[in-house]
Amino acid sequence: MSRNFPSRVDVAIVGSGPTGAAYARVLSELRPDLDLVTFEVGPLLADPPGLHVKNIVDAEERAAAQRRSEGPGALGAEDRRLRRAGTYLLPEGFQQPGEDGIPSLAMSSNVGGMGAHWTAACPRPGDSEVIPFIDDLDELLDEAGRLLGVSSHAFDDAPFADEVRARLASIFDDSRPTGRKVQPMPLAVQTHDDGRVTWSGSDVVYGEATRTNPRHTLVPEALVRQLRVHDGTVTGVVVRDLVDGSDHEVEAGQVVVAADGVRTPQLLWASGIRPRALGRYLNDQSQVIFAARLRDVSPRDAAQGEEPGKPAIAWQSGVSWVPFTDAEPFHGQVMQLDASPVPLAADDVVEPGSIVGLGWFCAKELQETDRLEFDDDRTDSYGMPAIRVHYTLTDGDRATLDGAREMVKRAALALGDPLDAEPITLPAGASLHYQGTVRMGPVDDGTSVCDPRSRVWGVDALRVAGNGVIPTSTACNPTLTSVALAVAGARDLATTYPKKEGSQP
């Protein structure tokens, strides 16, 4: 941590979320000779930097950390749009006349980015979710799982987990290939001998290799306003210290922009880097939620989870996964209600773990016209180009949503007794899974922003990272994939960056 702004570094990383942290980690491991700096627009929430807020034990401290993540333009309670704690909504421009828009488009500003607030679900993509031109994707996903601390066994001893999965399997598994059947959700969580559960944030991705690297500096409350470009090469960044308002020029041999799916393309636009695909092919995942009371589970079994020290979240029923397939283009997750990020029932439910929440995410038909538009004449609360969202559901998208509603009802009936007559379709943006806005592609044909190693087409010394890089239509949670792509980019950067004089071969 520092408030010192270096005059020159080898690599400047913009954003401290999981993908920015992955670049810092891989470069710290493979190229400890490089001088690295990470600039984060938001404040430090806790120690270690990037800690997941669920790991803050004190409820008041946790709430305060969430409030500090809500940026300078956070809206008050009068704004009735759905918003998760720790995030803030795009204040305007989220819906254009005659379009569906993304009313709940949300961001967070803090060390660790959305990795301080996420649900830690890390499923692997399947079928058409898989990026076809990344030959080593499986190995990259394995490495992303290592960096995130992913496990499929975090809640193996949850008393209701096997029963929940057996009931789901009875309606899903017969038509599914091996690997895409109902299974435990891979989660970036760690369970401890005393029963505690800790959730991975960017702190886990950073790891000791980054924290002990004397050549890496993390600067919070530092807004990168512009990338300096000379003769087609990025040469550094202009950073505003949000503590005292001063501006600083930092030269860099390479720059990695890992802000998020909204602010990464915004920064490129503000810097005059405007490839045709920038901000386009915006992909949100429509989300349907439902709740059910498990049928035929005994209060005595539920009480077994009340042991001292056992976690309140997801202990009884675990977290189960119904994977995406092309035949059923949804991604389902089923968890104990208090693990759900969206309240689904009253607080006075009986039998811990007997009420489960079901969330079905839908893949979207990709359209170039679904896009972020940036305004050169108006600015947002950070002084960056204001954003307008153009976003429309196709007839196919609406049919997929209808299918998800029917499928989640079938799943709820298999589990027990639904709490309501019909599922709830959440407003667009509630998934927080915005993708495609700086998408990668195999060739520079105008439909992508970067190449398979995240290098921006036509601009030297610049890479992008984050969910926005994902080029396929997905329904699964994207963080594992975006970290995998960041690993690929960081490895390539470590290999291609010139050796420094006196460094080890």
Q: Spell out where 327-370 has E strands.
A: 330-336, 355-362
Q: Do residues 154 and 117 lie in contact, with contact meaning Cβ atoms separated by under 8 Å?
A: no
Burial class (CB in 10 A: 0-12, 13-18, 19+), 192: exposed
SS (H, E, C) 386-439: EEEEECCCCHHHHHHHHHHHHHHHHHHHHHEEECCCCCEECCCCCCCCCECCCC
Alpha carbon dihedral 331, 476, 57, 311, in 10-degree steps, equals: 40
Q: Do residues 362 and 165 lie in contact, with contact meaning Cβ atoms separated by under 8 Å?
A: no
Q: Which amino acid is at 492?
A: D
Q: Do residues 90 and 387 lie in contact, with contact meaning Cβ atoms separated by under 8 Å?
A: yes
Q: Do residues 36 and 11 lie in contact, with contact meaning Cβ atoms separated by under 8 Å?
A: yes
Catalogue the active-site residues.
Answer: 433
Cβ neighbours of residue 146 closer than 8 Å, sequence gap 6 or more: none
Cβ neighbours of residue 122 closer than 8 Å, sequence gap 6 or more: 144, 145, 148, 150, 186, 187, 188, 477, 479, 480
Q: Do residues 422 and 292 lie in contact, with contact meaning Cβ atoms separated by under 8 Å?
A: no
CA distance 84 to 94: 17
Q: Where on the phi/psi map is residue 281: left (φ > 0), alpha (ψ -120 to 50), or beta? A: left
Cβ neighbours of residue 363 closer than 8 Å, sequence gap 6 or more: 128, 129, 285, 324, 329, 330, 331, 400, 473, 474, 475
DSSP 455: B
Max CA distance (Å), the chain: 71
CA distance 104 to 228: 32
List beta partners, residue 265: none
